[in-house]
Amino acid sequence: MTIDFLNKKIEKSINDLYNVDIPSNFCQIIKTKSDFEGDFTLIIFPFLSFSKTDLLTTANEIANILKDFDEIDSFNIVKGFLNLNLSDGFLSNLFKTAVESKNYGFLSSKSNSETTLVEFSSPNTNKPLHLGHIRNNLIGFAISNIFKACGHNVKMVQVINDRGIHICKSMLAWLKYGNGKTPASEKVKGDFFVGQYYILFEKKLKEEINKIGDKNIIPNILIEAQEMLVKWENKDPKIIKLWNMMNNWVYEGMDITYKKLGIVFDKNYYESDTYLDGKRIVNEFLDKNIFFSKEDNSVWVDLSKYNLDEKLLLRSDGTAVYMTQDIGTAFSRYKDFNFDNMIYVTGNEQNYHFQTLFKILEKLSCQWAKKCFHLSYGMVDLPTGKMKSREGTVVDADDLIDKMRNESFNLIKKSNKFDDFNDEEIKDLSNIVGDGALKYFILKVDSKKSIMFNPEDSIDFNGNTAPFIQYTYARINSVLSKKKDFKNCYNSFEEMGSVEKALIKIIIEFPNCIKQCKESLNPAFLANYIYHLAKTYNKFYQKVPILDGSRNENFRLTISKKVSLVIKNGMRLLGIDVPNRM
């Protein structure tokens, strides 16, 4: 519970009472558990050392002062817990402020706002996006929106891994076995088309290894790929042309997927550019003896005194590795944006990598190194084990999105509630519902935890889901459409009902909820908040007649309207749409 000024007021009263400066973390105010009566609860235990008396006496001493506050109506004491009831008048005021504030919960960015870069997605250009990328994209997009809502000037960026041996593999396979086929000639989406050749390469490689039967002999096809990488680095025109063509196929395919996900980046960085920056920087600091080289000319950084080992930065043949590229990218970004924060959204398999990267940046005296954060999320696993694109055991992003949309379509088709909808309208609605179900399913889980995804029965349309929330929104919308012009009203003419009170208390938490998501780098908190709000509203809807012509009608309409706005704007932060009807 965070009503800042009330917290401060209480804190001050207690300070005065005991005539000491009580550390602010001693004043713990929490929401009252639903089993007890009260709106919020002050925990008494910490004050015992100042009151020098027993628990009950202390609680009463404090309660006696607080009960005279206008904001507080009544209290009760249970053990070391002082439960306080807010007065209806005070709640009304808070509610009024919330309703009347423009862009409630959202701070707008100003010229002196912090600039925050969020890096996410960052795909390889040799295969389509899969379920793991979906989680990455959803978290990255949501956290970007959340930082925006906190007034940051946010830039969404990615680095596209468009070069390297893995890219050459799909290129080589296409050259050898493609027979000039193209995505257009085969009517296959470009990223899937290229992905097929990546898998084909791995298959041929495996066949050749089996045929050779000697681990020490490098298969020809792999040597060819390595040769191709060297040609690429030497800018062989034929190879560059092929590379451009195939990468473009992939980009065309990915554009469609990003469009489905509703994601647009502010700036793309390409590894094919930044790896050169990285090499330059590494060599520069090699000269300054920050890095060192070994006999074979490979370049290393020694981080062993930070518990992080030695790390390779340039291969003995002078070519770049992943880390090299990431150093170059980071420098470019700082030059481009002079950011205050940079957040990398990647799977937790890269925890060690980012620890190392940040430490290296520190060693390079980048004062911005401590402004870099790693939002590390858990892997998405299938019942059959880990997803491996090399083996083709992945859930493709497009397939999954389409499956959800279709399921939603069928659900709507057979409900006969939408007889006045044409197929186009049904399709639009099923996209909103299907996409929502998928996105919410992933975002409601604490980002650092891994997700077990069972393709058969993972995603539900009932319970703690987006469709449940969307339905609540649509139903409020329906009520509101029956009474278009009502006058805002912030108080009940009788004592406020418990559900109305509960709703108002949730509504006034919205800004704080967003802040918490930002601080913990975890959108799941918002997802669960919205669910809780929707659930409480449904209870209200069932229990309390809204349009009953009574003098409380406007109060209930005002609550309904505000709930719908919080739902809509909260879901928007998560990248989820809400329909006017469903």
Neighbouring CB atoms inside 10 A of 19's CB total 7
**Residue of the chain from 140, 164, 195, 523 that contacts RNA (CB under 7 A):** 164
Size of the site for RNA (CB under 7 A): 94
Does the footprint of RNA cover residue 511 (CB under 7 A)?
Answer: no
Residues 228-267 that bind RNA (CB under 7 A): none
Residues 382-441 that bind RNA (CB under 7 A): 386, 408, 411-412, 415, 417, 429, 433
Does the footprint of RNA cover residue 449 (CB under 7 A)?
Answer: yes
**Nearest approach, Cβ of residue 113 and RNA (Å):** 23
CA dihedral of residues 195, 196, 197, 201 (deg, nearest 10): 100
Query: What is the Cα–Cα distance from 517 to 524, expressed in whole angstroms?
Result: 8
**Residue of the chain from 186, 543, 550, 551 that contacts RNA (CB under 7 A):** 543
**Nearest approach, Cβ of residue 401 and RNA (Å):** 16
The token pair at 245 is 């063509």
**Residue of the chain from 144, 477, 492, 564 that contacts RNA (CB under 7 A):** 477
Residue 115 or 511: the one with the smaller Cβ distance to RNA is 511
Residue 183 or 205: the one with the smaller Cβ distance to RNA is 205
**Nearest approach, Cβ of residue 102 and RNA (Å):** 25
Does the footprint of RNA cover residue 445 (CB under 7 A)?
Answer: yes
Does the footprint of RNA cover residue 563 (CB under 7 A)?
Answer: no
Does the footprint of RNA cover residue 46 (CB under 7 A)?
Answer: yes
CB 345 within 8 A of CB 377: yes
Beta strands in 370-529 (DSSP E): 372-377, 380-381, 451-452
Does the footprint of RNA cover residue 213 (CB under 7 A)?
Answer: no
The token pair at 138 is 């959803």
**Residue of the chain from 9, 260, 403, 535 that contacts RNA (CB under 7 A):** 535
**Nearest approach, Cβ of residue 13 and RNA (Å):** 19
Query: What is the Cα–Cα distance from 107 to 443, expressed in whole angstroms?
Result: 23
**Residue of the chain from 464, 488, 491, 554 that contacts RNA (CB under 7 A):** 464
Does the footprint of RNA cover residue 516 (CB under 7 A)?
Answer: yes
Does the footprint of RNA cover residue 57 (CB under 7 A)?
Answer: no
**Residue of the chain from 18, 45, 50, 373 that contacts RNA (CB under 7 A):** 45
Residue 196 or 522: the one with the smaller Cβ distance to RNA is 522
Among the residue ranges 25-33, 146-154, 211-219, 247-255, the one whose residues contact RNA (CB under 7 A): 25-33
**Nearest approach, Cβ of residue 127 and RNA (Å):** 11
Query: What is the Cα–Cα distance from 17 to 11, expressed in whole angstroms?
Result: 10
Residues 337-366 that bind RNA (CB under 7 A): 348-353
Does the footprint of RNA cover residue 170 (CB under 7 A)?
Answer: no
Query: What is the Cα–Cα distance from 155 to 465, expressed in whole angstroms?
Result: 29
**Which CB contacts under 8 angstroms, 24+ apart, belong to 501-505?**
501/39, 501/91, 502/536, 502/540, 503/533, 503/536, 503/537, 503/540, 503/559, 503/563, 504/91, 504/94, 504/95, 504/559, 505/1, 505/31, 505/39, 505/91
**Nearest approach, Cβ of residue 367 and RNA (Å):** 26
- Mention every residue, 6+ apart, whose C-beta is less than 8 A from residue 445: 451, 524
* Helix runs in 189-321, H state only: 190-212, 220-233, 237-261, 271-287
Residue 99 or 323: the one with the smaller Cβ distance to RNA is 323
The token pair at 462 is 């009932």
- Mention every residue, 6+ apart, whose C-beta is less than 8 A from residue 168: 225, 226, 228, 229, 232
Residue 17 or 544: the one with the smaller Cβ distance to RNA is 544
Does the footprint of RNA cover residue 38 (CB under 7 A)?
Answer: yes
Residue 221 or 379: the one with the smaller Cβ distance to RNA is 379
The token pair at 128 is 């389509």
Q: How many residues does the chain have?
A: 582
**Nearest approach, Cβ of residue 203 and RNA (Å):** 18
Among the residue ranges 112-120, 190-198, 308-316, 569-577, the one whose residues contact RNA (CB under 7 A): 308-316
What b-and-e string marks burial along 373-398, b requiring 16 or more CB atoms within 10 Å of the CB? bbbbbbebbbeeeebebbeeebbbbb
Beta strands in 315-418 (DSSP E): 341-347, 372-377, 380-381
Neighbouring CB atoms inside 10 A of 493's CB total 11
Does the footprint of RNA cover residue 271 (CB under 7 A)?
Answer: yes
Among the residue ranges 89-97, 183-191, 532-540, 563-571, the one whose residues contact RNA (CB under 7 A): 532-540
CB 430 within 8 A of CB 581: no
DSSP 8-state secondary structure symbol assigned to residue 496: P
Query: What is the Cα–Cα distance from 75 to 541, expressed in whole angstroms?
Result: 29
The token pair at 271 is 């590894």
Does the footprint of RNA cover residue 7 (CB under 7 A)?
Answer: no
**Residue of the chain from 16, 100, 266, 317 that contacts RNA (CB under 7 A):** 317
**Residue of the chain from 169, 204, 475, 505 that contacts RNA (CB under 7 A):** 475
**Nearest approach, Cβ of residue 186 and RNA (Å):** 27
Residues 87-146 that bind RNA (CB under 7 A): 124
Half-sphere exposure of 255 (CA within 13 A, CB side): 7
**Residue of the chain from 192, 461, 490, 555 that contacts RNA (CB under 7 A):** 461
Does the footprint of RNA cover residue 329 (CB under 7 A)?
Answer: no
Distance of CA 200 to the CA centre of its chain: 34
Q: Which of 305, 319, 314, 316 lies closest to 359, judged by CA? A: 305
**Residue of the chain from 62, 86, 489, 524 that contacts RNA (CB under 7 A):** 524
Neighbouring CB atoms inside 10 A of 243's CB total 21
